[in-house]
Amino acid sequence: MLVAVLSGFGLSLAAPWAVRVGRLRGWLFALLPLLLTLYFLSFTPAVMTGEAITASYNWVPSLGIQLSFYLDGLSWLFALLVSGTGIFIFIYAGAYMADEPLIGRFYAYILIFMASMLGLVLADNLLTLFIFWELTSFSSYLLIGFKHKDEAARKAALQALLITSGGGLALMAGLILLGLAGNSFEISALVAGECLTEHPFYVPTLLLILAGAFTKSAQVPFHFWLPGAMTAPSPVSAYLHSATMVKAGIYLLARFTPILGGTALWHLLLPAVGGLTMLVGAYLSLRQVDLKRILAYSTISSLGALVFLLGLDIPLAAQAAIVFLIVHSMYKGALFLIAGILEHETGTRDVTALGGLARIMPLVALAAGFAALSMAGIPPFFGFVSKELLYETTLGLQDNAILFTTLAVIANMMMVAVAVLVFVRPFTGQLVETPQQPHAVPLGLWLGPLALGLGSLAAGLVLAQVGAILIAPAVSAVVARPTAVKLALWHGVNPMLILSILTVLGGLVVYRYRHSYRRISNRLDMGRQWGPAKWYEFGLEAMLSLGRLQTRVLQHGYLRIYLLTINLVFFVLVGLTLVTKHDFAGQLPSTDLRVHEAVIAAIIAVAMIVVLFARSRLAAVVSLGVVGYGIALIFVFFGAPDLAMTQFAIETLTVILMVLILYRLPPFATFSSRGQRIRDAVIALSVGALITTLVLVSTTVTQPTLLTSYFAENSVPAAKGRNIVNVILVDFRGLDTLGEITVLGIAALGVYALLRLRTPSQRKVDLTATVETELVAEQDKSKEVEAM
């Protein structure tokens, strides 16, 4: 199973080369989802008996993180959805983006997405789930911004990323709380474990996880990123933003229903948010004229309906949700692909500018017709079954049955109107002149939508099998007990059928009066001025201004003032802590001092003073060398031969370095006034005094560490080395040393780059000129700072 999940990542690496095969590349890439679909289908018998397949790999054993997968009815259904739609999307993209130069990159991204989505729905470990969850957000960002030269696309991509990954952070906190509360990070163990709804962590856990799910699945008020994401190429909209990724939030809710569901809070929040989203999405959808935006808002509405259903307190709700999930993925995926075909062929997505296309592209029109009929809920299409189930669920509720049913009917009426709109406008009537001359559509383009459209019809015809094979195992996983599912088209004349008929008629009426609807809703428009999209923009802008302001205040560019500030803060904070928290009762270290040591210390001190007051650079460098060699001698006296040798060698090299570079540097200059020097000296001396105190204080409490004795005991037996310092460096803490020598390499390469990438003389002149003008402008400011 690990191979199945990771194969997409593997192929993604090869994608930039694999696209070289030419026109057939779409079919080639589609082989992977095809193989995956077959692989998942091979689990059908096991899944139907309610068996769960698990696979676990050690990932970070020291942190208890497992790369564990779990395949039950729900995961299986989603995995099939991801890989199954993937087949058609991949074929379609090959034809849709035939002339795209960056097609390799596109396939790489979308393969990453497919693999992450599979990982997400198959993950058993909460942290594994989270990582794949973030990977889907990340690949969605790359795909929305695929047309990276378009500013709108970049902006939309960033918006989607900020919102979904903001939710992702909440989700991570929620998952960790969940793992702590349930004492396990495996979902399967949490489902089987004790009830968590009474746990003190329950409310924060639920709220955080819902925040993750709602942002991902575009629930109000986070819905606005989804219409923005329509800047992505159409296959992406069809795949990520209708069929799979936006359903990740739904998957999460369904997956956690047995763990977190069933409480009053759950039954309050989900229907409220979902219901609101369902209405808002439907309301906004009908106002649009851009085909993809119409579909995007209707997707929001459908996602709302799914959340709404999952929150209802009735066993049938899970069944209605799962059925609607499949129905929606099929028809909405098809419609998005068709929108892409229309744009590709005619050059516009404006429904009011299209018409009569059925004559030119009959097969596409057929597919669109099927999808629209399923969306409108006309028998014998699968959509009809789903709508009946929805009404049966809301009518069966204990409380609020009338309210929720009315909500559902209103939202569905609008969906019917949308379905009519997206089929009737572009395909029927007079052929309208479009920016591009449409011609016959190639096989690669129409195959996907037609297959999905036919699927909507076929599923309606073989209901019993669909119910038993696809739906029942998933529903059983959601309600956490075996559940039989019986689906049928004809239940006789009952309230659901009457409501269905009413919905279709109402939808037709809405469609008939859509112009006045658009006019009135435009007059009532508040969303554009006060909607959440505005809050988002305002928040982003405020954050950036705060950042700029802070940078301007703190990063003023005077190195000395930075140092001054750091030193003062250090002195005040550490000094205060020392005075208030420490009692100076400890024993001072021994005053045992030998003559040669005292001499060395005196030499170092004198040399340092020479450095401070030297007038020539050479004197300063020589004195610095004296300080360094003096320190090396201290190492010799106090049992550190390794250090002494290294210090000697480094000191020699430092002197060579300084001599090489010294005469290229300007001579010592004094820029500061006497007052400033005294101020700096006072601060430097205070910090020095504080450090002396700190050293004295800390040596009074020094005791041998556990580390020391561990290294001393294990150096010879475990690491076979008698020089403990060296053993620490190359063995016990080898990884640190590796990092350190990497830093050395980078520093050396930095020197190389600085010397080789010298500014040419021409640029040098320019730069000097700029700096000089800058200087004039800065002079006033510098005076202010110097006055400090």
Partner 1 sequence: MKPAEKDNTIPSLILLTATRYLVPVLLLFSLFLLTRGHNEPGGGFVGGLVAGAAFALYGIAHTVHDARRLLRFPPRVLIGIGLLVAVGSGLFSLFYRRPFMTGIWSVVEVPVIGKVGTPGIFDIGVFITVLGMVLQIVFELMEE
Partner 2 sequence: MTIVLAFLVGGLYAGGLYMMMRRSIVKLIMGLILLSYATTLLIFTVGGLTRAAPPIVPAGVSEPPVPFADPVPQALILTAIVISFGVLAFAVVLIEQTHRSVGTDDSNNLRGIEGEL
Binding positions for partner 1, 710-729, rule CB under 8 A: 719-723, 725-727, 729
Distance of alpha carbon 434 from alpha carbon 282, whole angstroms? 28
Q: Which of 14, 549, 569, 645 binds partner 1 (CB under 8 A)?
A: 645
The least distance separating partner 2 from the CB of residue 449, rounded to whole angstroms, comes to: 49
Give CA torsion, residues 221, 225, 227, 229, to 10 deg: -160
Q: Which of 650, 659, 675, 734 binds partner 2 (CB under 8 A)?
A: 650
Q: What residue has token string 């999905």?
A: 452
Per-residue x/- track, 606-625, partner 2 (CB under 8 A): --xx-xx----x--x---x-
Q: What residue has token string 């005619």?
A: 346
The verdict on 555 binding partner 2 (CB under 8 A) reads yes
> Would you say 489 or 658 has its CB closer to partner 1?
658
Distance of alpha carbon 537 from alpha carbon 531, whole angstroms? 10
Helix (H) or strand (E) holding 576: helix 559-581
The least distance separating partner 2 from the CB of residue 161, rounded to whole angstroms, comes to: 23
Distance of alpha carbon 304 from alpha carbon 433, whole angstroms? 37
Nearest Cα neighbor of 121 from 109, 136, 101 is: 136
Footprint of partner 2 on residues 562-591 (CB under 8 A)? 563-564, 567, 588-591
Using CA atoms, how far residue 788 sits from 269, 381, 572, in Å, is: 58, 80, 19
The least distance separating partner 2 from the CB of residue 544, rounded to whole angstroms, comes to: 11
What lies within 8 Å, CB to CB, of 25 at 6+ separation is 18, 19, 94, 103, 107
The least distance separating partner 2 from the CB of residue 543, rounded to whole angstroms, comes to: 15
Distance of alpha carbon 457 from alpha carbon 163, whole angstroms? 36
Q: Which two tokens stand for residue 457?
A: 């019809």
Are 361 and 352 contacting, i.e. CB atoms less than 8 angstroms apart?
A: no
SS3 125: strand
The verdict on 57 binding partner 1 (CB under 8 A) reads no
The least distance separating partner 2 from the CB of residue 299, rounded to whole angstroms, comes to: 40
The verdict on 60 binding partner 1 (CB under 8 A) reads no
Per-residue x/- track, 660-689, partner 1 (CB under 8 A): xx--x-------------------------
Size of the site for partner 1 (CB under 8 A): 39
Q: What residue has token string 């709404």?
A: 308
Are 336 and 242 contacting, i.e. CB atoms less than 8 angstroms apart?
A: yes
Distance of alpha carbon 175 from alpha carbon 161, whole angstroms? 20
> Would you say 402 or 741 has its CB closer to partner 2?
741
Which option in partner 1, partner 2, none does residue 685 bind, with CB closer than 5 to 8 A by kind? partner 2
> Would you say 513 or 637 has its CB closer to partner 2?
637
Footprint of partner 1 on residues 274-333 (CB under 8 A)? none
Stretch that binds partner 2, among 190-198, 247-255, 388-396, 709-717 (CB under 8 A): 709-717
Stretch that binds partner 1, among 30-38, 433-441, 513-521, 732-740 (CB under 8 A): 732-740
Which option in partner 2, partner 1, none does residue 720 bind, with CB closer than 5 to 8 A by kind? partner 1
Q: Which of 61, 717, 735, 787 binds partner 2 (CB under 8 A)?
A: 717
- Side-chain half-sphere exposure of 101, counting CA atoms within 13 A: 2
Q: What residue has token string 């950042």?
A: 547
Are 371 and 331 contacting, i.e. CB atoms less than 8 angstroms apart?
A: yes
The verdict on 489 binding partner 2 (CB under 8 A) reads no
Burial of 308 (0-12, 13-18, 19+ CB in 10 A): buried
> Would you say 366 or 643 has its CB closer to partner 2?
643
Q: Which two tokens stand for residue 159?
A: 């918006």
The least distance separating partner 1 from the CB of residue 538, rounded to whole angstroms, comes to: 47
Q: Which two tokens stand for residue 399?
A: 């409380």
Which option in partner 2, partner 1, none does residue 731 bind, with CB closer than 5 to 8 A by kind? partner 1
Q: Beta-strand (E) ranges in 533-681?
A: none
Footprint of partner 1 on residues 756-775 (CB under 8 A)? 756
Which option in partner 2, partner 1, none does residue 597 bind, with CB closer than 5 to 8 A by kind? partner 2
The least distance separating partner 1 from the CB of residue 627, rounded to whole angstroms, comes to: 19
Which option in partner 1, partner 2, none does residue 719 bind, with CB closer than 5 to 8 A by kind? partner 1
The verdict on 515 binding partner 2 (CB under 8 A) reads no
Stretch that binds partner 2, among 467-475, 477-485, 532-540, 646-654 (CB under 8 A): 646-654
Q: Which of 268, 488, 576, 598 binds partner 2 (CB under 8 A)?
A: 598
Q: Which of 747, 771, 775, 785 binds partner 1 (CB under 8 A)?
A: 747
> Would you say 531 or 721 has its CB closer to partner 1?
721
Nearest Cα neighbor of 126 from 78, 171, 60 is: 171
Stretch that binds partner 2, among 31-39, 447-455, 525-533, 714-722 (CB under 8 A): 714-722
Per-residue x/- track, 412-451, partner 1 (CB under 8 A): ----------------------------------------
Nearest Cα neighbor of 246 from 192, 189, 306 is: 306
The least distance separating partner 1 from the CB of residue 623, rounded to whole angstroms, comes to: 21
Nearest Cα neighbor of 445 from 173, 138, 128, 95 is: 95
The verdict on 641 binding partner 2 (CB under 8 A) reads yes
Question: How many of the other CB atoms lie within 10 Å of CB of 387?
Answer: 31
Residue 716 CA from chain centroid, whole number: 48
Footprint of partner 2 on residues 197-216 (CB under 8 A)? none
Please list, residue by residue across 690-719, b when 16 or more beta carbons sit within 10 angstroms of its beta carbon and e when fewer do: beebeeeeeeeeeeeeeeeeebeeebeeeb
Q: Which two tokens stand for residue 136?
A: 């889907």
Q: What are the start-end ranges of the H helices in 123-224?
A: 126-144, 151-182, 187-192, 202-216
The verdict on 650 binding partner 1 (CB under 8 A) reads yes
Distance of alpha carbon 275 from alpha carbon 300, whole angstroms? 11
Footprint of partner 2 on residues 659-698 (CB under 8 A)? 661, 664-672, 680-681, 683-685, 687-693, 695-696, 698
The verdict on 122 binding partner 2 (CB under 8 A) reads no
What lies within 8 Å, CB to CB, of 424 at 6+ separation is 511
Q: Which residues of this protein are in contact with partner 1, per CB under 8 A?
A: 641-642, 645-646, 649-650, 652-653, 656-657, 660-661, 664, 719-723, 725-727, 729-731, 734-735, 737-738, 741-742, 744-745, 747-749, 751-752, 755-756
